[in-house]
C-alpha cells in the first residue's frame, strides 16, 4: 500500500501523458488543446515557484515574469547562439536542450539570490517593489542586447519543447518543492511566514531561509522560461512585462496561497478559462476582472487555500515504537 | 546651459504629474497598507471624462478638470465600498488581488463600450497653445505653465487639508493607529473613504494634465502611468505626502534626462534609481523606518 502511495503521483503523471497522447492520436484533442495544456503546465511551474516565496515563506514577489525572461533568454541563447541545432547531431539535441534549460534556471537563481540578498534583510514590502523594478529593468536591458534581438524579439529558437519534456519538468518541480516544503527547511520557511520575530527568537536564521526560498522560486521560474522559449520558438521582451507577473500572482492567490494543489488548480483553471471564453472576445477580460473580485470577496483564501491533496504530503517516517505528537 | 534648463522644464512638467498620481498611492497605502493597483486606471478615467466633457460641453478647462476630478473620485469611493471594505480584516493580499481584478475590469469594460473602444483618441486642446521664450533662451509653453500651476495648487490644497483641517487630522490619526483612532471617536470608514476620494481626485487631475501634454489617450494609458507613479511614491517614501511629491519630481526629471541621453534608457532609468535609493534608504527618501515592537 505504501509503495503504491509513494509511486502514485508518478503513475498519475505517466497516465496523464499517455492519455493526452492517445486522445491526440485519436483526434479528440487538436494540437491547439495540447498547446494550451503545455502552457498551463508551464504556468503551474512558475506559480509553484512563486508559491514557495509568497505562499510558504510569506514574502511578496511581484516580478516573477522577470525571472521567466532571464531563464528563457539564457537557455534560448545557449541553444540558438552557442550550440545551434545545425551544428549538432540530432541525438545530442535533447541533451543540449536539457542543459540549456538548467543553465536558464541557474542563471535566474543567481539573479534571484543577488536581488533577494539585499532586499530580504528588510521587513515590509521592499521585495515587492524591488522585484517589480527588477522585472522592468530586465525588460529594458534585453532591449539593449542586439545579439538576442533587442526590441525586435528573439526569433529562430529551436522548438525542442514537447509534452513529454514539460510533463517531466512539471513532475520534477512538484517533487522538488514537495520535499523542500516538508523538510526542516520548509518548516523554517513556514515559521518565517507565521511570525518572523518568533522564528528568529527560536533560532531560525530568517534572512537565510527567505533568500533560499526566493532563489529556488526564481530558479524554477527560470526553468519554466527555458521550456517556454523552446515551446514558442520566439521571445519578445514585452511578453514579460509586469502584467505577466500579475498573471502569476492571480493564479497563485486565486488558487490559494500556501497550497501546492491550489497553485496547480489556479494556474490550470485560469490558463484554460480565458481560452474557453474566447467566443466572448473582449468581454472575457471584463468577466475575468469581476470574477476575480467575487472570488476574493467570497473566498479570500483562494479556491484551495491552506489545504492539500493527500498525495502532495509526504508520509512522515517515524522510528519504530514512536509515540507522541507531530 | 540652455538645453539643461529646457530638459529641466520638461522634467518638472512630467514630474508634477507623477507626483499628483503618486499622492493617491501613498495616501491609500499609508492608511490601509494596500497597493491600489486600480489607481492608475482612475487616471485613465479622468482623461476620458475630460475628453467627453470637451466633446459635449466645449473646450472649457476648469469645467473639464473639475468633472475629471469628481467622477473618478466618486467611482473610487464606490470601489472602496464594494470591493475593498469587505476584505479589510482578511489577509492583506486578498485585497490586493481584488485591486488587480478591479483594475482589469476598469481597463476592459470601457474598451468594450462602443463610444470608447480600444483605439487611441486625440485629446482636444483645452487651453490655447502659446510659446514663451525665457531670457535664458529656454522655451516654456502655456500647457507647461498650466500643468505646473495646477499641480502645485492641488498639492498645496492637499497639504492644507492633511495638516490644517479636522478631516486631515483624522486621516493622520487613522494612518497612525486605526484602532486607537476609532476609540477616539473617529469614523474610520468615513476617513478611509475620504482618502480614496482625495487620491482619485488628484489622479483624475493628473490624467487630464498628462493628456494635455501627450494628447493621445487610450484605455490602457493608466497602466504605465500608474506603475511609474507608484515607483515615484516608493522612491519618496511610501505613506509620506511630501515624499510622493519629491519622488514624482525626481522620476520625471530622471526620465526626461535619461531619454535625452539615449532613447531606450528612459523607461528603465526610474527603476534603477529606485533600487539605488532603496539600497541606501530602505524607507525611501522621506519615509520613516517603522520600529517593530513585540
Q: Do A123 and B292 touch (CB under 8 A)?
A: yes
The answer to whether the CB atoms of A254 and B97 lie below 8 A apart is: yes
Nearest-neighbour CA in chain B from A155: distance (Å): 21
List all residues of chain A from 36 to 55 with a beta carbon under 8 Å from chain B. Answer: 54
Domain containing residue A196: 28-242
Nearest to A242 among B83, B87, B227 (CB): B227
Which of A125-129, A140-144, A266-270 holds the top average pLDDT?
A266-270
Confidence band (pLDDT; 50, 70, 90) for A225?
very high
CB-CB under 8 Å, A118 with B91:
no
Cβ <8 Å between B264 and A249: no
CA angle A305, A175, A180 (to 5 degrees): 70
Do residues A272 and A38 make contact, with C-beta atoms less than 8 angstroms apart? no
Residues A144, B272: C-beta atoms closer than 8 Å: no
Give how many domains chain A has, as a whole number.
1
pLDDT of residue A326: 46
Q: Which three cell numbers stand for residue B184?
A: 477616539
Q: Distance between CA A177 and CA A247 in Å, rounded?
A: 21
pLDDT in tens, A186-206: 999 999 999 888 999 999 999
Which architecture does CATH list for B2-280?
A: Orthogonal Bundle (1.10)
Q: Does A246 touch chain B (CB under 8 A)?
A: yes
Nearest-CB residue to A285 (from B108, B264, B272): B108
- Cβ contact B102–A293 (<8 Å): yes
Residue A286 cell numbers, joined = 471584463
**pLDDT band for position A323 (50/70/90)?**
low
Cβ distance B290 to A124 less than 8 Å, yes or no, reads yes
Domain assignment present for residue A312? The answer is no
Q: How many Cβ pairs closer than 8 A exist between chain A and B?
A: 119
Say which of A144, A283, A301 has its CB closest to residue B264.
A144
Residue A197 sits at the chain B interface (C-beta within 8 Å) = yes
Residue B106: its chain A contacts at CB < 8 A? 289
Which residues of chain B make contact with A60, given a CB cutoff of 8 A?
Answer: 93
B238: its cell numbers: 511610501
Q: Residue B268 and residue A292: Cβ atoms within 8 Å? A: no
Does the pLDDT value for residue A39 go beyond 70? yes
Q: What is the residue extent of each domain of chain B?
A: 2-280
The pTM assigned to this predicted structure is 0.86
pLDDT tens-digit profile, chain B (294 residues): 778 889 999 999 999 999 999 999 999 998 888 889 899 999 999 999 999 999 998 888 999 999 999 999 999 999 999 999 998 888 777 888 899 899 999 999 998 888 888 889 999 988 888 888 888 878 889 999 999 999 999 999 999 999 999 999 999 999 989 999 999 999 999 999 999 999 999 999 999 999 999 999 999 899 889 988 998 998 888 888 899 999 999 999 998 998 888 777 777 788 888 888 887 887 888 887 666 555
**CA dihedral sign, ordered B173, B175, B177, B179:** positive
Q: Which of B97, B264, B268 lies nearest to residue A136, judging by beta carbons?
A: B268
- Answer yes or no: is pLDDT of A124 > 70: no
Tell me how close the Cα of B123 comes to any Cα of chain A, in angstroms.
24
How far is residue A112's CA from residue B233's CA, in Å, rounded to a whole number? 24
Burial class (CB in 10 A: 0-12, 13-18, 19+), A314: middle
Q: B121 by DSSP, 3-state: which?
A: strand
Say if CB A79 and CB A158 are below 8 A apart: yes
CA distance B158 to chain A (A): 26
Distance of CA A108 to the CA centre of its chain: 12
Model pLDDT for residues A263-322, shown as the tens digit of each residue: 999 999 989 988 888 888 778 888 888 988 998 888 888 888 777 877 777 766 666 666
Amino acid at each position: 500500500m505504501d509503495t503504491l502511495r509513494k509511486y502514485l503521483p508518478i503513475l498519475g503523471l505517466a497516465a496523464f501523458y499517455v492519455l493526452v497522447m492517445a486522445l491526440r492520436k485519436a483526434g479528440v484533442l487538436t494540437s491547439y488543446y495540447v498547446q494550451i495544456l503545455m502552457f498551463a503546465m508551464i504556468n503551474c511551474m512558475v506559480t509553484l515557484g512563486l508559491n514557495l516565496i509568497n505562499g510558504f515563506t510569506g514574502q511578496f514577489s511581484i516580478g516573477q515574469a522577470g525571472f521567466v525572461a532571464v531563464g528563457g533568454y539564457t537557455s534560448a541563447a545557449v541553444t540558438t547562439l552557442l550550440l545551434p541545432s545545425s551544428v549538432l547531431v540530432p541525438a545530442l539535441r535533447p541533451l543540449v536542450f536539457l542543459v540549456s534549460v538548467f543553465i536558464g534556471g541557474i542563471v535566474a537563481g543567481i539573479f534571484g539570490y543577488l536581488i533577494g540578498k539585499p532586499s530580504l534583510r528588510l521587513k515590509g514590502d521592499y521585495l515587492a517593489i524591488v522585484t517589480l523594478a527588477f522585472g522592468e529593468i530586465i525588460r529594458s536591458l534585453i532591449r539593449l542586447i542586439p545579439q538576442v534581438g533587442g526590441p525586435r524579439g528573439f526569433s529562430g529558437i529551436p522548438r525542442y519543447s514537447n509534452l513529454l519534456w514539460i510533463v517531466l519538468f512539471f513532475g520534477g518541480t512538484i517533487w522538488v518543492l514537495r520535499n523542500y516544503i516538508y523538510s526542516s527547511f520548509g518548516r523554517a520557511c513556514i515559521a518565517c511566514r507565521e511570525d518572523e520575530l518568533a522564528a528568529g527568537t527560536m533560532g531560525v536564521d530568517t534572512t537565510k531561509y527567505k533568500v533560499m526560498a526566493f532563489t529556488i522560486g526564481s530558479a524554477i521560474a527560470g526553468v519554466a522560461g527555458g521550456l517556454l522559449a523552446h515551446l514558442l520558438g520566439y521571445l519578445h521582451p514585452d511578453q514579460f512585462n509586469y502584467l505577466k507577473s500579475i498573471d502569476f500572482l492571480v493564479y497563485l492567490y486565486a488558487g490559494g496561497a500556501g497550497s501546492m494543489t491550489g497553485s496547480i488548480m489556479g494556474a490550470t483553471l485560469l490558463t484554460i478559462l480565458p481560452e474557453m471564453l474566447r467566443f466572448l472576445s473582449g468581454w472575457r477580460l471584463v468577466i475575468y476582472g469581476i470574477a476575480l473580485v467575487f472570488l476574493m470577496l467570497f473566498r479570500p483564501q483562494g479556491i484551495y487555500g491552506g489545504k492539500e491533496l493527500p498525495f502532495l504530503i509526504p508520509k512522515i517516517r517515524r522510528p519504530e515504537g514512536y509515540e507522541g505528537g507531530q | 546651459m540652455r538645453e539643461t534648463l529646457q530638459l529641466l522644464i520638461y522634467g518638472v512638467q512630467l514630474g508634477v504629474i507623477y507626483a499628483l498620481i503618486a499622492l493617491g498611492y501613498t495616501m491609500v497605502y499609508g492608511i490601509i497598507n494596500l497597493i491600489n493597483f486600480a489607481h492608475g486606471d482612475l487616471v485613465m478615467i479622468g482623461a476620458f471624462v475630460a475628453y467627453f466633457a470637451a466633446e459635449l460641453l466645449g473646450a472649457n478647462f476648469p469645467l473639464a478638470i473639475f468633472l475629471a476630478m469628481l467622477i473618478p473620485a466618486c467611482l473610487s469611493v464606490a470601489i472602496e465600498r464594494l470591493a475593498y471594505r469587505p476584505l479589510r480584516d482578511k489577509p492583506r493580499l486578498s485585497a490586493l488581488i481584488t485591486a488587480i481584478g478591479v483594475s482589469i475590469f476598469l481597463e476592459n469594460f470601457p474598451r468594450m463600450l462602443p463610444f470608447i473602444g480600444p483605439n487611441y483618441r486625440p485629446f482636444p486642446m483645452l487651453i490655447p497653445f502659446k510659446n514663451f521664450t525665457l531670457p535664458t533662451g529656454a522655451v516654456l509653453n502655456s500647457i507647461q505653465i498650466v500643468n505646473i500651476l495646477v499641480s502645485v495648487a492641488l498639492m498645496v490644497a492637499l497639504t492644507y487639508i492633511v495638516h490644517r483641517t479636522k478631516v486631515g487630522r483624522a486621516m493622520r490619526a487613522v494612518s497612525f493607529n486605526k484602532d486607537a483612532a476609532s476609540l477616539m471617536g473617529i469614523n474610520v470608514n468615513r476617513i478611509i473613504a475620504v482618502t480614496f476620494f482625495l487620491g482619485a481626485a488628484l489622479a483624475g487631475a493628473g490624467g487630464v494634465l498628462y493628456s494635455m501634454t501627450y494628447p493621445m489617450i487610450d484605455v490602457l494609458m493608466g497602466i504605465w502611468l500608474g506603475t511609474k507613479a507608484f515607483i515615484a511614491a516608493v522612491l519618496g517614501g511610501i505613506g509620506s505626502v511630501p515624499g510622493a511629491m519629491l519622488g514624482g519630481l525626481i522620476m520625471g526629471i530622471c526620465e526626461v534626462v535619461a531619454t535625452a541621453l539615449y532613447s531606450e534608457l528612459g523607461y528603465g532609468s526610474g527603476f534603477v534609481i529606485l533600487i539605488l535609493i532603496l539600497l541606501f534608504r530602505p524607507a525611501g527618501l522621506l519615509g520613516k523606518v517603522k520600529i517593530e515592537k513585540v
